[in-house]
Structures are given as C-alpha cells and as structure tokens.
Structure 1
C-alpha cells in the first residue's frame, strides 16, 4: 500500500531536522589581505598555542596549506568566486580539486569547501555558475568516497534576507529566490549546512538609535519577544531569521554554520577593544557550551570568528582593517579565551 504523502513529508522533516548536538569548538577566519602578516609557520604555532583547532581559509594559497598539513587543524577552504566558471564539468572540477587542495593536504583535515563567498549579492556575475560548480565538485567527492567527510556549501551575506525582523518573518529576497532554492535543494540533498556571514556590528553601527548596544553585543538587555520566543541577542535573531527563511521555502532542518562574525576594535564610533572582547566572548561561550538559539535550543551552532589579524590592505570603510583578534606579533588584542 502506498504511504500517505503527509506521512512521507513528516518522515522527511524528522530525517533532516537538527537534533541536539554537543558543544562546538570555535573556528577563526584566517584572512590574508595584508602585507605585514606573520609567516604561515608562525601562524600555525599561534593557532596551536591558543588551542585553536579549526580555521577558515578564503583561498588555496599552497604555502599556507603546506604549513597546515599534518597539524590536525580542521579546515574550511574557500574556492574564490572567479574560479567558479572553470568548474563547469566534473573533469575540470576534479583537476582543480586535486591540483589545488588534495595534492597538498590530506582530506582528513578538510571539513568544508566553501564554494564562492557572498556571490548572490556581491558578485552576481558568478551566480549562474554556483550550483553547477557545487554539483560538479560533489560528483568528484562521491568518486573519491569523500562526500560524507567533506561538505560543500557557499557562504551568503545576511543581506540576502529581505526580512530579518522579527526572526519568525525571515524571508529571502524574492529576486534571489530561483537561485537560492537551487542552493537549498543541493544542501538538503547532500546534508550540508547553510553558510551565513552575520555581523550585528553593521546593524548597530548603522542604527544606533534603534538597536541597543547590549542587544547587538548579545548582553543582558531587555529581551525581544517573537512568537513565544525571547531574544536578547541580535546574533541569535539573525541566525533564526535564516532558519525561518529556509522553512518558508520548504527546507526545514538544514543546519546553519556561521562562516564569519566579529566586531572591529577601531575605525568607527561603534568599534572598540571592549566591545570586540564582549561580543566575541559571548559568541565563544555560546558556541563551546552548545547553547543553540531560541528557535533551535541545544543544537550546537558552528561559528567562525573574523578574524585572526587586522588586514591593512582591505578596502572599504576604515573599520574593515581592524577585526583582528591577534596583533601580527601574536599578542592578543584583548583578553579572550577560545575554550
């Protein structure tokens, strides 16, 4: 007898729904848009000395991959946006993956390959290439029996949401929906996370009259009420807005990995050492304790802080150069623990 459709959908929801997970180790982004950074070997020493066992790389710089090889540090490795058009078939994807990653570092150290970064809004030229590149790389990983070890996804800016407040009304920009649905379908099929770059700093800096500093930092300010849930953290609200947006499109249960978040120490009135220490400290405690968010309590959230060092060659606003948790000589910019 054919099972009722509603039963099938219920089972599918259970299969893909996140279940409570153990606490996560915090990850850190290792950006390199600077001309004064320590050597890769010095960076590895810094990571190990501070108990940092998970980092995000934005490209496949071979000297950095070589230095990380054999260290036991887990990696998220980025595929630059401009590479995507060349990954137009499984053979080209296999060649690129072998040459730029697998010939340099063991697959055992690779947790994620982040295919592109904020393509849907920042680099729309590459949008048509994203999901085909993901599928071609996935086919290669299947051939190598690595599809369960290495997950593929693509970090998106928080601005892909047209509505993010209150979190329960989270919705993707309708202009992006055709491509977004293709991405979500891929993530659901491959049981990979949705990757989001989330910066409460930007929201607070642009709206200080309407967003309290305590709420932006994730402190103990008066909670915001939404559909029976309480939020005292703009970060939590942003994550749950993504969850609601995915549910709205019929993709409940896809986990969220926050691939960038942080607070600058200088370059803006809203920046500062004390604020960066408070914000990043709150994020670390939430992550390592497996707190989750109001919509997904107890579901450990994976987070990568931005970033290791100030990057003195980044363009844009002055604060873009001041997200470093460490100075280039390896000293912490402020007192913070990663465990």
Structure 2
C-alpha cells in the first residue's frame, strides 16, 4: 500500500449506455466472500499455520499474499484458503525476458512447489508498478503474458487469472466518477494490459483507501463520506447519487475502463481498509465501521451506482499490524487481528 492523492467528486452527466455495458460484467473470483491480505512486514507476526487457522476460525477462505512465501503458501493451502499470490516487482524483469519456459520454471519453483494449483485463484503480477516503480513498467505486460502462457501449458489458463494490482492514482481524472480517465502517461502500458485481461477474463485490480483520501484532503473529502456514514452529504453525478467514496472510486475506474473500450472488465478491490492508530481519524471505532460495511456489501453482492447488481470482489487490508512498514505511523496499524489472535475491534465476517 502507498499514499494516494485524494479523490474528490463534482457533478456531471453519466450515460445510460455505460450502465447497460456494465450489466454484462462477470467477476472472475467469488465476490460473495470477503478476502483478507496477509502482509508480512512485521517483527512479531504469528507463524503461518496460526494465521491460516485464524482465517478459517473466522469463516474467511480467501487471502492475498504479496509474495510467494514458501512458509506461508503450504500453511494456507493446507487450511483450504484460496489464494491471490503476488509476483514481486523485482521478478518482473526476469519474467519478461525469460519467455513462457522461464515463467513456467519460476511458477513451478516459486508457487506450485509449495501450494497445489487448485488453491491458487490469481497471480497479482507486480503491485502498484505504475505508481512508484516506473523502472518495472515496460516489463509488466510481457511478464503477464509469459505467466499466462505457462499456466496454459499446465492446463490452468482458465482457472488461474493473471492481473496486476494498481494504486487509485492510476486515474488522472476521478472527479466526478463519470469523468474517470486513466493517466495518459501510463496508457502505453495500460492499453495492452487491458486487452490482455479482457481476453483472459481477469479483473482490473485496484488498491483503494478512502481513509488516505480523507487524510490528504479533509476539506473536500468528508470523514462521513469516506466511512459510509449515514449522515454524509450525497454527491450527485448526473442521474447517479453517491453516498460514499468507495463506490465513487470503483465507478471512476469503471468509467475509465468504458473510455478505453473495456467496459465489460470486472473490477476487484485488492486492498482496502482503515487503520486503528497513527492519526486522529484512525481509531478502532472507525476501522470497525468501515470494514464492517465492506463485509456487509460483499456478503449481499452489492454493486455500485454505475454497475448496479454487479458484485465487487474485495480483499481487506490487513490481517495483522505490520510494525516494519515504512511511511506514516498509520501505515503500521491496519491489522484486524492482534498477534494473539484476538480482534482489534468488534467485527463479524459471517
């Protein structure tokens, strides 16, 4: 996760044709179940088997791992956890140049040697490459192609979806949602990537944090709007009405996808959450309110104003606090559970 520029919204018209296109969207994973990210940048994290057991005890059967950790993969797979496995940015240059055969060797040694294929749902190739890792940008799409070709050679091309997680700042325009447009400087990478995920049935992955939008621009982003607050002033966008920033962010991405001709590509939120310390708005009460609303929306398959009836697959960040994370103090306090397995605040995942 990285700091994002604040997202704000104004009034413009939105067209009914975009709604019709969105209605055909099919989500690649199981959007009816919440997932949780398991970051590992901490000094006091429980062992992987304990983390996997904690997920199952709370009815959670999906997790995002940021790298193919050979200790975590078998523990989570043995517990029956479906996995989104991250391909680290630093591996992209090799995977880009190695061709399908080299990607196959990497896939077999780094992932499939530690977790059976039937537990792997996604490969998230790189994380926020277009936000702060431009060195890797030219290697992103070739690496995705090579990994997909490797999966096809194993008969897994339809089962394991290959995509890449982006920061919300991949949008140059997000205000209002119907004006959503991708950053022009990234289009040389994004357009072939969008063609690839459209052709292979993978989702567009995004990490989005209304908390950070509020922190960066509290004048224009009200706390209630970021928190799904019932009293937050609604934002009108033509015929559509937005009562929270989460919907507005997802729909700005949907509009950007429409603008590029890929309106049928589903959106998966691969990170979102609320911290419990490190800022006046980072409290256990606010974290409980935000994450509980996300869980409730996922459970009932809620769509968004632009894509009504189209569920959004979501992974909450984070399983535990990570005391080794760089950046602002709040970055180290997104944990939903404490190291002893108790909840940091009251939340029900049923």
What TM-score, normalized by structure 1, do the two folds share? 0.94
Equivalence map 1:52-67=2 (5 Å): 52-67=60-75
- Aligned counterpart, 1:27: 35
1:270 to 263, 281, 302: 281
CA distance in 2, matches of 1:19, 1:197: 20
- Aligned counterpart, 1:110: 120
SS of 1:155's equivalent in the other structure is strand
CA distance in 2, matches of 1:41, 1:250: 44
- Aligned counterpart, 1:147: 157
Map Cα deviations across residues 111-162 of structure 1 (whole Å, 9 max, x no partner).
Answer: 1010000001211100010000000011111111111110000000001111
SS of 1:134's equivalent in the other structure is helix
Higher relative contact order (CA 8 A, sep 6+): 2
CA distance in 2, matches of 1:279, 1:68: 26
1:248 to 241, 255, 259: 259
Q: Which runs of 5+ in 2 are unaligned?
A: 1-16
Map Cα deviations across residues 179-231 of structure 1 (whole Å, 9 max, x no partner).
Answer: 11111111111111000000000111112122221110112222111120111
1:167 matched to 2:177? yes
Larger displacement relative to structure 2 (19-28 or 142-151): 19-28
- Aligned counterpart, 1:317: 328
CA distance in 2, matches of 1:188, 1:36: 41
Kindly indicate whether the alpha-carbon contact (under 8 Å) linking 2:27 and 2:203 is maintained by their aligned counterparts in 1. Answer: no
Kindly indicate whether the alpha-carbon contact (under 8 Å) linking 1:195 and 1:259 is maintained by their aligned counterparts in 2. Answer: yes
1:293 to 288, 296, 304: 304
Q: 1:48 to 1:20 in 2, by over 3 A?
A: closer
1:284 matched to 2:295? yes
Larger displacement relative to structure 2 (199-208 or 232-241): 199-208
Kindly indicate whether the alpha-carbon contact (under 8 Å) linking 1:17 and 1:254 is maintained by their aligned counterparts in 2. Answer: no
Q: May I ask how many residue pairs the two structures share in their alignment?
A: 328
- Aligned counterpart, 1:133: 143
Map Cα deviations across residues 62-118 of structure 1 (whole Å, 9 max, x no partner).
Answer: 011121223221000000000011112111100000001112111111110100000
CA distance in 2, matches of 1:253, 1:40: 37
Q: 1:51 to 1:321 in 2, by over 3 A?
A: same
CA distance in 1, matches of 2:151, 2:26: 26
What TM-score, normalized by structure 2, do the two folds share? 0.91
CA distance in 2, matches of 1:110, 1:44: 15
Kindly indicate whether the alpha-carbon contact (under 8 Å) linking 2:48 and 2:75 is maintained by their aligned counterparts in 1. Answer: yes
Q: 1:23 to 1:255 in 2, by over 3 A?
A: closer
Kindly indicate whether the alpha-carbon contact (under 8 Å) linking 2:22 and 2:307 is maintained by their aligned counterparts in 1. Answer: no
Map Cα deviations across residues 226-268 of structure 1 (whole Å, 9 max, x no partner).
Answer: 1201110100000000010011111111000000000110001
Kindly indicate whether the alpha-carbon contact (under 8 Å) linking 2:31 and 2:311 is maintained by their aligned counterparts in 1. Answer: yes
Q: CA RMSD in A?
A: 1.7
CA distance in 2, matches of 1:34, 1:125: 27
Q: 1:19 to 1:109 in 2, by over 3 A?
A: closer
2:90 to 66, 69, 82: 82
1:92 matched to 2:99? no
